[in-house]
Amino acid sequence: MRCERSWLLISLLGVACAACSHGAAGTSATETGPLATLRESVLASSQALETVRSLTDEAGPRLSGSPGNQVGIAWAVRALGEAGFSRVHTELCAVPHWERGVEEGAIVEPSAQPLALAALGGSVGTAPEGLTAEVIEAASLEALDKLDPAAVKGKVVFFSGVMERTRDGSGYGAAVRPRGSGASHAAKLGAAAMLIRSVGTDDNRAPHTGALRYDDAVPKIPAAALAIPDADVLHRLLAQGKRVRVHLKLGARTLPDAEGANVVGDVEGSAAPGEIVLLGAHLDSWDLGRGALDDGAGVAIVMEAGRQIGKLAHHPRRTVRVVLFANEENGLRGATAYAAAHAAELDKHVLAIEADLGDGRVYEARFLGDPASAPAFRVVAAAAAPLGVLASGDDAHGGSDLIPLVAAGVPAMDLRQDATHYFDFHHTANDTFERVHKADLDQAAAAFAAAAYAAADAPGDFGRVPADKRHRD
Amino acid sequence: MRCERSWLLISLLGVACAACSHGAAGTSATETGPLATLRESVLASSQALETVRSLTDEAGPRLSGSPGNQVGIAWAVRALGEAGFSRVHTELCAVPHWERGVEEGAIVEPSAQPLALAALGGSVGTAPEGLTAEVIEAASLEALDKLDPAAVKGKVVFFSGVMERTRDGSGYGAAVRPRGSGASHAAKLGAAAMLIRSVGTDDNRAPHTGALRYDDAVPKIPAAALAIPDADVLHRLLAQGKRVRVHLKLGARTLPDAEGANVVGDVEGSAAPGEIVLLGAHLDSWDLGRGALDDGAGVAIVMEAGRQIGKLAHHPRRTVRVVLFANEENGLRGATAYAAAHAAELDKHVLAIEADLGDGRVYEARFLGDPASAPAFRVVAAAAAPLGVLASGDDAHGGSDLIPLVAAGVPAMDLRQDATHYFDFHHTANDTFERVHKADLDQAAAAFAAAAYAAADAPGDFGRVPADKRHRD
């Protein structure tokens, strides 16, 4: 306990020092030491952007089970090796294999015109000839549940709720519920199919796909996301009291599981190599775009953070491990497999941080761990303070791929990225290299590098996540 | 001659008066008379935007020969009638009937990933199984012509020239040449197919289609536009010296001509109803989007200008005629048919103005007519000066649908619209209602209304276009 207190004192001095230049976008000219070197080296490099380019040009989309996913795995092994990581290896796992197939949509009444849509991940297809049915609109799951089942039966349920644009991406959580469970809600009422207004904030003709979850107790019905301008045409026509019928043809299908892999590389710790600070991102992506923001940018951020730490003359005490997870988008099989394969050493995982919000600048750090470790967390956050990162509370989310680790008690840190524009492109064909902004990506990579170093070099650890905070929706 | 001089005097007084408030975005509170009423009424109305909404929601895309084109014609007859136009009627003409069919594109080497592309209008299709060939890049027609034919034979020629963003849209003319004639240039060298970087200024995953012209002396080869992010992937891979092969499958085909129609409505003149000021826009659109900017906005601008002139207590001296042309996009059959059907009265067409640059604000007026009528043109331009419209030179372009009229000597006026953002969406799936900005559209409609009124109420006419200026590329 005494030991921990003296560490706290040192740590708090560190906070005060780092806070001198707090809020600046760059680093202080007077600051020295490995943290300053790290931040400056990341900001001066073009490697993070080049990583996104290389991944997206060479592998392209990387949906679990697709050829691009395999190309991505081979790319990651090569790229981690070239970046100087140790013990680069794959950890195989079975992943879902869902294919989109052909898809067509059209309004057929009141007059015919095409609809831009994309099946939701995991959706069943329609019959080969498609289906044609009247549309009934509901703003939300709750609004649907209030409708007379007789009015819904045989129709295409159209969820028209609008996602709000926010810096922290909170509009997504609020709007995404019909995507996840709307098909089964609609099927319970006898609907023939389900459409949603894409969960996004743009007005491009680019539908936002994303995974759904079927309730096994009701029939599986086809489900797709409409591009926002197309959803808005339906909404306007229906608002005028017009009878609207649509035709849908979806070739989506689920095949037997395929082989996927987490790709892992280490920057070996200098004093306690068996203790691990994990930096995670996911290598898979949806099929429509090229997975540049989601999650090529995250891959680039954690790889660049690890690469720059590895280049330091003296490595931090603990190992910094980069894990490029399989199958974040539609199954979390990679996250589950990692936690299972490393179950025996999870108690040596002292902190995990995930990058999965594109190229957004990091504006805030928050924590999930032993509340007694909050001061230690603040020291880690302070390492990124010269980049404009504020330390906040102990309510970290952790990220999807960290769910099984947090469930096992591994502390997590959120380096929260600005998501103001992320949901303009997320899960769409527009998620390409062109969307990635170098300066923002570099700031995020610098923040991850500094925080990872500080955590890996910290004298103490961060305890364990209390049992009552280990599970979340 | 004396008579013309006194008219000039009156006209120049008009210029001076209107110039008092020149540069202001709105209208002067102290100004009265029909021009002020017109400008204010247009700016206070929501009708122009509602016209775009109604056309695009109800008819959608309106490519010549498509069902949507017929719905658009019926819509226009109804809408012109509801807007109070006289003698609303269609003038039938044969139009090309080209269909896009299925289309697929992919890189197959160095690794496989999809390419977003769209066949160019008029392109032939590939064989049903598609074609797979190596890509050879050329920045321009001139660069292609310098290549060794042996290096081009059997390959897919990829034109990678980049369109520049400009207010006046001049980057389009410079960049569009490979779209028009690149396929035949490539075919002359034995190419198997032709791809272009879309002629546009965005970075969306939305290819820009547009018409090509085949040279009958060489084989017709399939031709398509790549979305800009996809063109840039090809360019980057080729710049690294990689061998790149692509697979293309295009179902495009040309069917026998279909029936189209110009739709015409008049605001009858109070003193010289046989003399005509023509406001033109085109009703057809490409198939990928909904033809909101191109040219739903133009349709709305000229319809709103005519509607508001028609609502005035006293109509101007001459008739203001709105012509919604058929088939501007891929044939100009409507423009040709109008000039032929009205050949006997073209000498009574005193001025023509076309709206075909989306919702852009009008910033400049320029002229093409009898140079001796330049002062009279300036009076017409001055009617829009309170909206911030500058009068410039006598080098008007006229607009595509006015080519046959100008060729017959009919004077034309350009109310030049700001095209800074127009080519982000032009000819793409993203050309939807969401792209139209009410305030900009209304300013343009007000400028068209004021200029049309001033021309229709002018005491004299504008002569004829000199013979040496009647033809252009």
* Bridge partner list, A119: A224
Q: Which residue of A has its CA nearest to B59?
A: A111
Q: Compute the average pLDDT of residues A16-24.
A: 38
Cβ-based contacts of B61 with chain A (< 8 Å): 113-114
- Convert the pLDDT of each residue in A148-187 to its tens digit: 999 999 999 999 999 999 999 999 998 999 999 999 999 9
Comparing C-alpha atoms, which of B426, B427, B423 is closest to residue B288?
Answer: B427
Nearest CA in chain B to A289: B205
Q: What pLDDT was estimated at residue B429?
A: 98
Task: List the structure tokens of B104.
Answer: 């697929």
Strand A86-99 vs strand A113-114: parallel, antiparallel, or unpaired? unpaired
Residue of A238, A290, A434, A437 to mutate for B, most B C-beta atoms under 10 A: A434
Q: Do residue B205 and residue A433 have CB atoms under 8 angstroms apart? A: no
Q: Shortest CB distance from B237 goes to which of A57, A205, A435? A: A57
Residues 6+ apart with CB under 8 A from B298: B281, B282, B354, B355, B356, B357, B358
B18-29 residue pLDDT tens: 433 333 444 444
Q: What is the DSSP letter of B402?
A: G
In angstroms, rounded to a whole number, what is the distance separating the alpha carbons of residues A7 and A459?
7
Flag if B68 and A206 touch (Cβ within 8 Å).
no
> Is residue A237's pLDDT more than 70?
yes
> By the CB < 8 Å criterion, does A110 face chain B?
yes
Mean pLDDT of A285-300: 98
Asked casually if ipTM beats, i.e. exceeds, 0.85, the reply is: yes
- For chain A, the average pLDDT equals 93
B112 lies within 8 A of chain A by CB: yes
User: Are B203 and A290 in contact (CB < 8 Å)?
Assistant: no
Chain B residue numbers with beta carbons less than 8 Å from the beta carbon of A59 are 111, 113
pLDDT on residue A472: 64
- Name the closest residue on chain A to residue B433, using Cα atoms: A229
For position B125, what pLDDT does the model report?
98
Q: Which of A203, A432, A433 sits opposite B434 (nearest CB)?
A: A203
- In a 3-state reduction of DSSP, which class is residue B46? coil
Enumerate residues 6+ apart whose C-beta is below 8 A from A340: A404
B31 is a catalytic site residue: no
Count of other CB atoms within 10 angstroms of residue B393: 12
pTM: 0.92
And the tokens for A251?
Answer: 């070739």
Q: What is the three-class DSSP state of B131?
A: strand
Of A23 and A100, the structure prediction assigns the larger pLDDT to A100
Residues forming a β-bridge with B137: B158
A72 touches chain B (CB under 8 A): no
Report, as an integer, the average pLDDT of B119-139.
98
The answer to whether the Cβ–Cβ distance between A60 and B114 falls below 8 Å is yes
> pLDDT at residue B46 above 50?
yes
Q: Provide CB contacts within 8 A for A193, sequence distance 6+.
A: A126, A131, A133, A156, A157, A186, A221, A222, A223, A224, A248
Contact: A112, B67; criterion CB under 8 Å: yes
Instruction: Answer whether B274's CB lies under 8 Å from B346's CB.
Output: no
If you average pLDDT over residues A43-49, what whole number do you get? Answer: 98
Q: Cis omega before residue A473 (within 30°)?
A: no
Task: Look at B59 and A430 and tell me if their CB atoms are within 8 Å.
Answer: no
* Interchain CB contact of A258 with B (< 8 Å): no
Please write down the HEC assignment for all residues of chain A.
CHHHHHHHHHHHHHHHHHHCCCCCCCCCCCCCCHHHHHHHHHHHCCHHHHHHHHHHHHCCCCCCCCHHHHHHHHHHHHHHHHCCCEEEEEEEEEEEEEECCCEEEEEEECCCEECCEEECECCCCCCCCCEEEEEEEECCHHHHHCCCHHHHCCCEEEECCCCCCCCCCHHHHHHCHHHHHHHHHHHHCCCCEEEEECCCCCCCCCCCCCECCCCCCCCCCCEEEECHHHHHHHHHHHHCCCCCEEEEEECCEEEEEEEEEEEEEEECCCCEEEEEEEEEEECCCCCCCCCHHHHHHHHHHHHHHHHHHHHCCCCCCEEEEEEEECCCCCCCHHHHHHHHHCHHHHHHEEEEEECCCCCCCEEEEEEECCHHHHHHHHHHHHCCHHHCCEECCCCCCCCHHHHHHHHCCCCEEEEEECCCCHHHCCCCCCCCHHHCCHHHHHHHHHHHHHHHHHHHHCCCCCCCCCHHHCCCC
Contact assessment for residue B91 and residue B85, using Cβ atoms and an 8 Å cutoff? no
List the catalytic residue out of B103, B137, B328, B329: B328
Contact of A132 with A167, CB cutoff 8 Å: no
Q: Are A76 and A299 in contact (CB under 8 A)?
A: yes
Nearest chain B CA: its distance from A107 CA (Å): 10
Task: Compute the distance between CA of residue B18 and CA of residue B4 in angstroms, rounded to an integer.
Answer: 21
Report strand pairing: A253-267 vs A86-99.
antiparallel
A113 vs B434: CB contact, 8 Å cut-off? Answer: no
Beta carbons of A258 and A64 less than 8 angstroms apart: yes
Q: Give CA separation, B280 vs A467, B134, B277, in Å.
A: 72, 45, 10
Nearest CA in chain A to B72: A111
pLDDT, residue A471, reads 79
CA dist., res. B349 & res. B318, Å (int):
10
Is B232 touching A (CB cutoff 8 A)?
yes
A60–B434 CB contact, under 8 Å: no
Q: Is the pLDDT of residue B30 over 60?
A: no
Cα–Cα distance between A211 and A209 in angstroms, integer?
Answer: 7
| A68 touching chain B per CB within 8 A | yes
For residue B231, the chain A residues in CB contact (below 8 A) are: none
**From CA A247, how far away is CA B46, in angstroms rounded?**
32
Burial of B46 (0-12, 13-18, 19+ CB in 10 A): exposed
Q: Are A303 and A322 in contact (CB under 8 A)?
A: yes
- B residues 409-468 near A, CB within 8 Å? 428-430, 432-435
Query: Which tens digit of pLDDT belongs to each residue from A303-338?
Result: 999 999 999 999 999 999 999 999 999 999 999 999
Q: Do the beta carbons of residue A169 and residue A419 sit within 8 Å?
A: yes
Q: Looking at the predicted structure, is the pLDDT value of residue A47 above 50? A: yes
Residue A10 reports pLDDT greater than 80: no
Residue A101 sits at the chain B interface (C-beta within 8 Å): no
Nearest CA in chain B to A206: B205
Measured in angstroms, the CA of B68 and the nearest CA of chain A are apart by: 7
Contacts of B104 in chain A (CB under 8 A): none
pLDDT of residue A27: 43
User: Which residue's entry shows tokens 């969960």?
Assistant: A199
Smallest Cβ–Cβ distance between A113 and the set B61, B233, B430 belongs to B61
Task: State the Cα angle at A116 between B433 and A136, rounded to 5°.
Answer: 85
| Geometric angle at alpha carbon A425, from A422 and A430, rounded to 5° | 145
- Output the pLDDT for position A394: 75
Instruction: Provide CB contacts within 8 A for B443, sequence distance 6+.
Output: B25, B43, B361, B362, B387, B388
DSSP-derived secondary structure letter, B139: S
Q: Token pair of A32, please?
A: 């020295």
Residues β-bridged to residue A333: none
Residue B15: is its pLDDT beyond 50? no
Give the N- to C-terminal CA distance of chain B in Å, as an integer. Answer: 35
pLDDT at A18: 40
The average pLDDT across B180-207 equals 98
CA-based nearest residue to A143, from A124, A156, A121, A158: A158
B27 vs chain A: nearest CA distance in angstroms?
33
Q: Could you tell me which residues come within 8 angstroms of residue B42 by beta carbon, excluding any fewer than 6 positions away? A: B48, B304, B305, B308, B442, B445, B446, B449
Query: Is B107 close to A60, i.e. CB distance below 8 A?
Result: yes
What are the φ/ψ torsions at residue A398 (nearest 5 degrees)?
100, -35
- Cβ pair B59:A113 closer than 8 A: yes
Up-side HSE of residue B114: CA atoms within 13 Å toward CB? 20
pLDDT band at A3 (very low <50, low <70, confident <90, very high): very low
Q: With beta carbons less than 8 A apart as the criterion, state whether B226 and B197 touch.
A: yes
B59 in reach of chain A (CB within 8 A) = yes
For residue B428, list chain A residues with Cβ-Cβ distance below 8 A. Answer: 205
Flag whether pLDDT at A100 surpasses 90: yes
Say what the pLDDT of residue B472 is. Answer: 65
CA closest to B113 among chain A residues: A60
Amino acid code (one letter) for B38: L
CA distance B33 to B18: 12
End-to-end CA distance of chain A: 35
Distance, C-alpha B340 to centroid of its chain: 21
